[in-house]
Amino acid sequence: VESGMGQWNRMAALIAAGMLTAGMVFAQNPPPNDYGGPPVQFDPLPRMLNELVPLYEGRFSNLNQNYFQWRYFNTPKDQQHEWITAVHTRVPGSPLGDHVFYIEEFYENDPARTLRQRVVSFEPDRAENAVRMKNWFLKDPAAVKGAYDDPSKVARLRASDFTLVPDCDVFWVREPNGFEGKIKDKACQFTSERTKKKVYAQHELQLSATDLFRIDRSIEVETGRLAVGNPTGRPYEMMRADAFTCSIGIRKAGEGRQWDTKANVKLHDMNGILSHKAQGAEKGYAIRLRHMRLPYGDNPEVLLLVMMEEGREESLGFATANADAERIAINLQFVQGQCVRDRPV
């Protein structure tokens, strides 16, 4: 009878032989490579691309950073980061490729205060061992304004409706908590419309499941002086917004516990506001939903739902919950509101 050790040795030999045979077959028939160059046995770029692209989609805001700079830290005004909202929307069917996004940025939460509109496309780049993000200008940006609600506006455009920004590609690589993207140093040069001087773009990004941090500045080529951007060199700390479905109800006067309700409205947690005025009422009410990350201690995070009179900033009352709560609600007897997270965190 074969001993237990002998059986183990025989089993190990069979496993090793099987692995060797499989390795020989794999080596003789490496998988095809669709991105240029000879076939390779291991190509990490498709996996990087498939993980990066879903992370890039979403709504991002540095509301939290801006709020604490002016409200609590007394940061000098010229060093404060303006409150910016950026909406990255996937565009299926674009002539620019399979992984295309329309980006619309505006100041605060006001789409009428446009900062910039552009389109980016992602593709693997084996020569750089990175995912390349190309930047495209829109020849008629007004024609696709608000396309985050209707990306078909961008999908219907032809390739001739875009202009590729030369030498301004961003190269993304994997980092422990997500991805890091950069334009090559001093590669993206152009003439400033404001100063008429030659400048280069400094564009650096860090993307994770919760945040998009970015440095976005222009620097004079000859002098090295800052032309456009925050003088501190610190990034815009943009938090990813989550989507909620919310409702607000106002108690009807003289009708027992009957409520005049506005329900099933989509809201985000970066100061998303839902307002409602009951029929015949003199004033309305609003709820404001906000995800706060407190800049002290262990950076505790909370979800905040504030009740206000419509058009006024003063709080009538508020409710807090864990930042990952599925539901938050407030009831002041005469007015109430609630929000339910669209997807689990």
> What is the per-residue DSSP string for 181-197?
EEEPTTTSEEE-TTT-S
Residue owning tokens 């002086």? 225
Burial degree of 312 (CB within 10 A; 0-12, 13-18, 19+):
exposed
- Supply the pTM of this predicted model: 0.84
pLDDT of residue 255: 63
Residues of the chain with pLDDT under 50: 1-5, 8, 12, 15-28
Q: How would you classify the pairing of strands 285-293 and 301-309?
A: antiparallel
How many CB atoms are closer than 10 A to CB 336? 19
**pLDDT at residue 28, rounded to an integer:** 46
pLDDT at 298: 79
Note whether 274 and 265 are within 8 A (CB).
yes
Model pLDDT, residue 142: 97
User: Quick one: pLDDT at residue 25?
Assistant: 40
Give pLDDT, residue 344. 64
C-alpha to C-alpha distance for 91 and 100, rounded to whole angstroms: 5
C-alpha count within 13 angstroms, C-beta hemisphere, residue 283: 9
pLDDT at 280: 82
In this prediction, residue 258 carries a pLDDT of 87
Per-residue pLDDT at 10:
57
* CA nearest to 183, candidates 165, 200, 199, 203: 203
Give the pLDDT of residue 9. 54
Minimal CA–CA distance to 102: which of 33, 56, 160? Answer: 56
Dig out the tokens for 23 from the structure.
């390795």
Exposure string of 188-210, with b = 16+ CB inside 10 Å and e = fewer, is: beeeeeeeeeebbbbbbbbbeeb
Model pLDDT, residue 32 = 55
